[in-house]
A = this chain, B = another copy of it.
Amino acid sequence: MALIVQKFGGTSVADVERIRSVAQRVLATVAAGNQVAVVVSAMAGETDGLVALARELGGEQPDPREYDVLVSTGEQKTVALLAMAMQRLGNPARSFIGAQIGMRTDAAHTRARISSIDTQRLRKVLDEGAVAVIAGFQGVDDHGNITTLGRGGSDTSAVAIAVALDADVCEIYTDVDGVFTSDPRMVPKARKLERISYSEMIEMASLGAKVLQIRSVRFAMRHGVPLHVRSSFNQEEGTWVVPEEEVMEGLFVSGVTYNRDEAKIRLRGVKDLPGVAAHVFTPLSDAGIVVDMIIQNLSQDGSTDITFTASRGDYAQALAIVQEVATAIGASVDGDDSIAKVSIVGLGMKDHAGVASRMFQVLAENGINIQLIATSEIKVSVVIEESHTEAAVQALHAAFLEAGASEPRPEC
């Protein structure tokens, strides 16, 4: 008998019919002899509706405490309905909101972090043969105020509960079959991965793959909980996200990702003096603009170029801020918001030189100019002109991940 945590997102519980399907699915796992704790999100559209109400009455920045009181009702609604559906199917079930399982967080409303979970009540219910149905995304601070973990926080709730219960696996149900080597809408030959390491998953998520929330993968990695990303619409095995050592014989490159929500800004003729970078990036950070890549060219004749990327929504504001700095330090500014970031991710890169150069070569063969490059131990990202995104992703997928690729390796 295994103890399984299953997490279903908003699309999986979008209406009465789907909630009933989720109930059936969960009970099939129970019937197979397992104990199951289910973590659910708000019904699709529910949270957006609540946020719209908050904006109408509380303005653009509604009070964070009250915002959390409001949006947490979404998950509360789902847990009651799902528990009812299971009871109707003849299996005991019991709902829990954050406060009821002592899901303690810090007091950072709208983006709280989990500090502890009291599993006593959950264990009792599970031991009685009932399904525990838990509201994701929410907790309480030390004073009993309702908190939320931020968008996508239900993944994190699920992992935290799996850790606390010492569950055998945390299954993340979604509307795709698992983690793919690339976006199947763009790359017809993209295929589902059987296994991927936590660290690759984190890179892929931060580089544009939307299947899992990064924070939840970090949490799972830290505590060694296996994640299983799978479809709520079929019974197929999905993708297991596991420790590196369990991805023996992993692929050289596990995935090709892209992100079009990118813009770049360049300062030219910056005097190469200590403190210049701080001078540029402090006002951006004060304005809440998250900077992604930062590239500084080697200094020639005492002046240098600094280029950075940020998300496209911040482009205009970032440009205005940097323009001001540039005027003050006698530099000039230009920018471009029709760029994309394309990345290859893979544990194999750690031990094998030449992956980056092969990537550059493939892009060159396809006439795609590289504007910026950033690398880590297990990924290489390049910034290119946005119109080349599709061609770049397809060429890289063909080169690294399809039959006849330069260094094909058996999947584990």
Bound-state CA distance A168–B73 (Å) is 33
Q: Chain B residues with Cβ under 8 A from A50's Cβ?
A: 77
How distant is the Cα of A145 from the Cα of B16 in the complex, in angstroms? 24
Whether B63 pairs with A100 at a CB distance below 8 angstroms is no
**A313 proximal to B (CB < 8 A):** no
Judge whether A53 is part of the interface by a CB distance below 8 angstroms. yes
In the complex, which residues of chain B have a beta carbon less than 8 angstroms from the beta carbon of A53?
A: 16, 77, 81
Q: How far does the alpha carbon of A221 sit from the alpha carbon of B72 in the complex, in Å?
A: 37
A57 part of interface (Cβ distance < 8 Å): yes
Does A188 make an interface contact (CB < 8 A)?
no
CB of A156 closer than 8 Å to a CB of B: no
1/0 contact string of A128-153 vs chain B (CB within 8 Å): 00000000000000001110000000
Cross-interface CB contact of A73 among B56, B73, B83, cutoff 8 Å: B73
- CB pair A16–B57 under 8 Å, yes or no, is yes
Assembly CA distance A144 to B95 (angstroms): 12
A408 within 8 A of B: no
* A80 contacts partner chain B, Cβ-Cβ < 8 Å: yes
Interface string of A28-71 (1 = CB under 8 A from B): 00000000000000000000001001101111001101110110
Among A57, A59, A95, A144, chain B packs the most CB atoms within 10 A around the CB of: A57
Write the nearest CB–CB distance from A62 to chain B, whole angstroms. 5
Smallest CB separation, A282 vs chain B (Å): 31
Is the beta-carbon distance between A83 and B63 smaller than 8 angstroms? yes
| Cβ–Cβ < 8 Å partners of A56 in chain B | 16
Q: Note all chain B residues with C-beta closer than 8 A to A344.
A: none
Given A66-B95, A97-B146, 6 more pairs with CB closer than 8 A: A16-B57, A57-B85, A58-B84, A59-B88, A66-B80, A70-B77
Pairs across A and B, CB under 8 Å, 16 listed: A16-B53, A19-B57, A50-B77, A53-B77, A54-B80, A57-B81, A58-B87, A63-B84, A66-B80, A66-B81, A66-B83, A66-B95, A69-B76, A69-B95, A70-B77, A70-B80
Residues of A within 8 A of B (CB): 16, 19-20, 50, 53-54, 56-59, 62-63, 65-67, 69-70, 72-73, 76-77, 79-85, 87-88, 94-95, 97, 99-100, 144-146
